Amino acid sequence: MNDGAALGITAGRLFLLTLVVLSTLAFLWLVAPFSGAILWAVIAAVLFDPLNTRLLRALPGRRNLTALTTLLVITAVVVVPAMLLGAALVREATTFYARLRSGDIDPGRIFVEAQAHMPEWMRRWLFDVGLSDLDSLRAKIGAGFASSLQSVVAQVLNLGQGAFGFFLALGVMLYLTFFLLRDGHALVARIEAALPLTGAHRAVLVAKLVAVIRATIKGSLIVAILQGTTGGIVFWVLGLPGALLWGVAMGVFSLFPAIGTGLIWVPVTLYLLATGAIWQGVVLFLCGFFIISSVDNVVRPILVGRDARMPDYVVLISTLGGFELMGFNGFVIGPAIAALFIAVWQIVGDTSDAPAA
């Protein structure tokens, strides 16, 4: 009798667990087309939750109004500027590509001109590595640069042509952000209560996970915006073409610790120095070393804090892995998964170190 009852309970729990797994997988498959919109809605809700909380204290009981006000702030300070930046980026990329196709910009010629200003030892080194045939080298550089830029521009134009899908995803993101701002705390509480852990462990896990993910996302995104903006302004002041493109590129590369924006301003500095633009090269080097690269060292600890900050090598590996697997969204999902991994193992370590009752 007892064995039969126990067997029935076990079978019932197994069936329930199977149903939970299958229904969860089916739901994830269902919402997969809007995974990007859902991701950025969660990010927006997490980053702007402190503002929403302050508004709710000022307007107690007005959750709809406070969530709507916060959503309007998000739209004004994030969505509209991002759309304007995207439109300007598409225009500049299209113009740059047209100049490349017309021959107004010739990467091969630029390299040959830079080579003429190189010291003798560097020219001998290029000869030793088989880069002395200037005509073929010019053709290869021009063809390779054109092919790469054509691929990038094609993707940018595809985004512009998919306007309906973009605005649909944007609408889903804003709609979901409103409800996450309004009901996010209650939703987190329900998820926390459903976790098969003790109350203390649930609280610690959720607190550490939210703190690390919020700090990582906030630090990475804001530092990327600041470094990209600073770099773009420096390029514009120096009169370098494509300042907007270079600024966006530096903002993207700043998401990779250690290498970061140097992948952009270091080669440009070397080119300026090699082509005789000495003062521009010196100014760009000084700005890149002391201003652009220093933004990360100064701003990130303020935004993130030492306790919540992940090691740079973990951020680098998780960011690269996320980008490889999930594209642009992987810049956020990769570090978030790493944050979850660290938070869980911190809980395991704390549990193991705790004395037995």
Quote the pLDDT of residue 175: 92
| Alpha carbons 316 and 256: distance in angstroms, whole number | 5
Phi, psi values for residue 290, rounded to 5°: -95, -20
Report the candidate in 309, 299, 308 with the shortest Cα–Cα distance to residue 254: 299
pLDDT at 172 over 70: yes
Q: Would you place residue 223 in the very low, low, confident or very high pLDDT band (cuts 50, 70, 90)?
A: confident
Mean pLDDT, all residues of the chain: 75
| Alpha carbons 65 and 71: distance in angstroms, whole number | 10
pLDDT at 248 over 60: yes
Return the axis-axis angle of helices 35-58 and 199-237, rounded to nearest 10°.
100
CA distances from 30 to 21, 74, 325, 329 (A): 14, 27, 20, 18
pTM of the entire predicted model: 0.68
Quote the pLDDT of residue 50: 87
- State the CB neighbour count (10 A cutoff) for residue 69: 17
Quote the pLDDT of residue 31: 84
pLDDT at 356 over 60: no
Quote the pLDDT of residue 179: 92
Phi-psi region of 106 (alpha: psi -120 to 50; beta: other; left: phi over 0): beta
Section 188-192 average pLDDT? 76
Section 163-182 average pLDDT? 85
For the segment 74-107, what is each residue's pLDDT rounded down to a tens digit? 999 888 888 888 777 777 777 776 766 666 665 5
| Alpha carbons 244 and 235: distance in angstroms, whole number | 8
Section 151-170 average pLDDT? 62
Q: Would you place residue 240 in the very low, low, confident or very high pLDDT band (cuts 50, 70, 90)?
A: confident
pLDDT at 69 over 90: yes
**Helix ranges restricted to H, the chain:** 2-31, 35-58, 63-74, 80-102, 107-116, 120-128, 134-161, 163-194, 199-237, 243-253, 262-274, 278-287, 294-304, 312-326, 330-353
DSSP 355: P
Terminus-to-terminus CA distance in the chain, angstroms?
A: 35
| Alpha carbons 106 and 139: distance in angstroms, whole number | 10
Quote the pLDDT of residue 222: 82
Section 24-44 average pLDDT? 86
Quote the pLDDT of residue 70: 92
Domain boundary assignment for the chain: 33-183, 195-351
pLDDT at 207 over 80: no
Quote the pLDDT of residue 9: 57
Choose the most confident range, by mean pLDDT, from 5-9, 183-187, 233-237, 245-249: 233-237
Higher pLDDT, 331 or 145: 331
pLDDT at 297 over 50: yes
Contact partners, residue 223, CB within 8 Å, separation at least 6? 254, 295, 296, 299, 300, 303
pLDDT at 357 over 50: no
